[in-house]
Chain A
């Protein structure tokens, strides 16, 4: 806890430095104008959107085993959204003019829509969390479900809009692919559940909150197949890029996997991301391996870190390679830049710790009317119990 406060404070100090000296203190440049901030923003929007992986089974498929995972998922979504918006804020050269986005609404700008949909989603998620906690009587549960039915497509929408922010730019062939939005969703629905599973493990060990083995097992299935699907999409993208033979379609992949013009800035990170994914998938897919709890947890963490590195660094910064004039420049986040991002994560972790009483409250509220970790709907009676 003290360490988290220290890191958060360090982030504030680094940001104070950045606001005084300008964005020149970052590793960003004329050639790579977006870096760690926008990349982490993209990753965090994915985590926020992945609340779908608990909302959908619970509210649409009525899988009551997700009742507790739902609370966790909503808390994580709200924090991730707060962090994502912070990443946007620290990226601005003139943050005091932020409200210009609303004062001069520009419907042709995807960033305008991104800001609208993200703040809307933050509001919906806060309402959703309160609904999950308090709207439990049969009459108000109907409203909670209605809210969820709006929130689910909205959650998918925020990540699609974030992908479209990149995917419509003729200047950046690396991102100009229709597969970008589905790929974002696939990696979001892999990394989000991975984070929930790891947090659920932590909360259970701390004896704060037990999400239930069934819910964790089901989240793990969602995570695994989302990751498999993301692999397929990455492969499809590589095919079009390589088979077409168009240099501009291929060069960013060359930069990521081989290096371009002697520049190998992202090579290690890219291979780390792929290595972790290729380690995790067999573990999660082969029953004999995933039954080993320690190995399964490592694989889950591997999925999370793999997406964090890919989306939170490689995907965004490799889009700027080569530059429109064909220059290749490696991007390295500066120390203040890293400190600010770490500070945002430390802040998020602190909020999560402060919200711990919510989980206790959730248990109290639900104790009387729902057998949370084993409950099963009549419609699901014939379904085999999930193996872990």
Chain B
């Protein structure tokens, strides 16, 4: 395990109270506060990270994925500073084969790292690895799809269930929804 200060995070767990601090109150039970919640890049429609990048090394693709060109990134870390979700990491040292995916692109030290919904898999017609793994294990907790398509299973879920998004008041328009 590397120095926790240098940890690269794509998808990880945080206590509910840290993910949705607006939902907390003085009488909240501790168990619910500490309930683990998955966090990842929100692939915001109005993303501050892509706005601040001085080289367009990170940008929003036409399909809505906030992608990252590790070969163009100059490593200024302005995007990490601008992200209100703490979703971005930096390769402080030479990166290890931490993704577990053999086809995951190799990185150099000195560039920013983030969840990109496995764009190389999306482009090959596959689902992101996290969704794939989740479904392979029989848990259907994660749903991935096209938000713009009103007929998609994703939109059906949004139509029938109440959802939360992280820090909606900031106006970044996260594309990650949490079913309550």
Contacts and interface: CB of A to CB of B under 8 A. Distances in A.
Contacts, number: 133
B56 A92 contact: no
A111 B54 contact: yes
A33 B39 CA distance: 19
Given A29-B5, A111-B76, A23 B92 contact: yes
Interface in A169-208: 169-172
Interface residues of A, number: 41
B179 interface: no
A171 B172 CA distance: 10
Interface string A152-183: 00000000000001000111100000000000
Interface in B93-141: 93-94, 108-112
Contacts of B164: none
A34 B6 contact: no
A172 B77 CA distance: 14
A149 interface: no
Interface residues of B, number: 46
A365 interface: no
A112 B78 CA distance: 11
A29 to B, nearest CB: 3
Given A101-B54, A170-B48, A111 B109 contact: no
A299 interface: no
A91 B21 CA distance: 32
A323 B180 CA distance: 25
B48 A91 contact: no
Interface string B154-171: 000000000000000011
Contacts of B36: none
A108 interface: yes
A137 B149 CA distance: 72
> Interface residues of A: mostly helix, strand, loop or mixed?
loop
Interface string B40-79: 0000000010011111110000000000000011111110
Interface of B: 3, 5-7, 9, 14, 18-19, 21, 39, 48, 51-57, 72-78, 80-86, 89-94, 108-112, 170-172
Given A93-B91, A170-B170, 8 more contacts: A22-B91, A22-B93, A22-B110, A23-B110, A24-B109, A29-B6, A30-B90, A170-B84
Interface of A: 21-24, 28-31, 33-34, 88, 91-95, 97-98, 100-101, 103-104, 106, 108-112, 115, 165, 169-172, 320, 323-327, 329
